[in-house]
Each structure stands twice: as C-alpha cells, then as structure tokens.
Structure 1
Amino acid sequence: MALDDVTWYVGVRLLLLSLTLRCCKAAESFVSEIEPQKGSLNGGTRITITGNNFARNLFSFGAGNSHLGNKVYLVSSTRNFECTIHPDGCHEKQITCYTPKMPTAEYSVRVYVDGVRIPDEEHCKASRSKCIFKPEAHYTPTIDYIEPTSGVPGTLVKYRGRIITSLFGSNEVTSTNGQTARFVSLYKCNNQCL
C-alpha cells in the first residue's frame, strides 16, 4: 500500500469515527419535573421525578459498586437531605423516592446517576420551579385526639386529626383530594415504637 493510500484510508476511518460519535452520542441525563412539589414535614412523601437516562442498573451490591444506581438529594441554602429511593418505582425515565423528616424550606432536587451528578442546568430547564419541593405543616398528618386512652383487646378506639387521604385500603385509584397516597395501617404503641 502506498503512503497516499494509507493516509486516505486513515483519514476516511477518522471521519467515519467522528460522524459515528456525533450522530450516536449517548443522550445525557436530565430531570423534567417532580411531583408532588409539597409534602409532609415528618417525611414519607413519595416524590416522582421524571426525566431521561436515569440508571438502568439499580443494584449496587458488592465491593466497588456503591456508586451504581440513582441517588436523590433535597438541597436548601443551608442543608441537604437524602431522599430514599423506592426501586420498584424506578426506570430510565422515572425515579421515585421517599422524603425524610425535614424543616420547612424550599429544597432543590439534585439527582446523581451511577455516581455522576446531573448538572444543575439539566434540572427542569423549562422552569426551575418544577424541581422545588417544599414540606409544610398543612401537608403533615397529625393525630390530635385519642379516645379511650386504654382498653381491653377489641376496644374500639377513636382518633381525631388530619389525614391527607380518603383512601383506606380501598380499590379507588385517587383520593377525594386528587392524591394517590393510601392510609394502609395505624399502629399505637408506647415510646419504644418509633
């Protein structure tokens, strides 16, 4: 092969490689929005994060694999909290997580995919407000009154307070307030049951 042929061959290969990388570049991860944007001060609010190219592998077992999967943080100007991932609600276009107990503030959602932080500019490009979560007292369930305070097994107990759903283990999809959260069970116990 002559030198000109080799030069031409290498040039064509580099051009093809360059075109392949441009047209077939892996899409970047991004966040479109979170839902809901308000929830309980005491945690337990399930947040659904929509976007694209979230982690495909949610298993991070074994040495050297702790970075795999998705991680979500709720970040204010002074604090940050990890949102516990709910693996059954995750795929490449969605992450679900449960908020921890945290004080009232505006928290920006920050997502990491396989140990790499999605850049801030890739969180809710259309409207930054779609990536803000705010816990408030109004969205926090309370128990204000219990009667009787003691009784034998089988005693009917009345509870009064604020419950944020009308779904009590029913077959309905949404509550009367449009939420999908369900009241599944209630436990009463002494101070050791936290």
Structure 2
Amino acid sequence: MKEDRRWIVETGLKAVGLGIAAFGIFEFFDGQRASIERAAQARSLDYISTANSDEHQSAVQTLFEFWLRNPDVASLLQEQGQTPSGLQAFFVSVLRADQSGNDVVFALRRVAHFHDEVSICVSSKACDREIAQTFFCDDAIQIEGTYRPIFELMRQQSGDRSLGQGLSAFASECDNET
C-alpha cells in the first residue's frame, strides 16, 4: 500500500509541477504578447507625434497655401474633373507659375513618405492598426484621392517607384474598413 500511496503522491506532485510550469510558460508568452502590443501602440503614437511635428505640419501647410493661392485650379478640378494625364499636365503648369512650386513638390514628397512609413509600420504589424487607422485614414484617403496622378508623375520623373505606393495601399485598406 505504501508504494501505491507514494506513487499517487509523486504523480500528483508531478502533475502540479507540470501545471505550474505550463502556467509559467503561458504567463511568459502572454507577457511577451502584451509587450509587443505596447511597443506597437508606442510606435503608432510616435507617428501621431511626427504628424504633429513642425516639419510635417509645415508640409501640410505648404499644400494648403498652394490651394489658397490657386483657388481657380481647385474649383476647375471640382467642377470639370480631369483625366489623370490632364491633371498631371495642368498641375505641372500651375506649379511652374506658382512662386513656391518647388516647396509644393517637396511638401508632397514629405507627406507621401510619411504615409508610406505608416503603411509599412501597420502592414508589418510593428504599429497598432486600430490606432493608425483612427488617426490617419481620413487624411490618407483625401491625400491619395487628390494627388494620385501627381504621385504617378513624380514617380515617373524621379525614378522613385515607391513614392506614394504605401499611401495608396493604406488608403485602400482604410476604404475597405469603412
């Protein structure tokens, strides 16, 4: 009888030990998952901070001021629309006549690169998708819709084949979520 009892106690202790070890492993991986989620949230918040930085806001302001200086362009595009190639040619001619044309191009590149980075961060799961979409979807959809033909032209002329591609993918993903 003592052998049976000893076996039962040893087996019970092993089972309890195994249960404690399994719980410890679960806690470890749950802690790792929580740490990864917090890091993704922190990276998303970093992008929000970047979006509010002087550099990014200056780029957005430059684009805003371009449209304020050229209200006839905005109204013409809204009333008549344009083919992508017509919009490209029209935009280039307006940029050449605008005193800050080069600044507008640099601002477009800055805004596109920012959204490209957000897209990469979200698609690689390094950023929290929900936070990024909450803060950047509306802008991404608006910017991509407004400047898609211009980004195509800039890709052709600069050789930067990825310019605005992440923005386009992110905006498309945002459209699918709404």
Q: Per residue, is there more helix in 1 or in 2?
A: 2
Q: Per residue, is there more strand in 1 or in 2?
A: 1
TM over 0.5: no
Tell me the TM-score normalised to structure 1 length: 0.31
- Which is greater in Rg? 2
Tell me the TM-score normalised to structure 2 length: 0.33
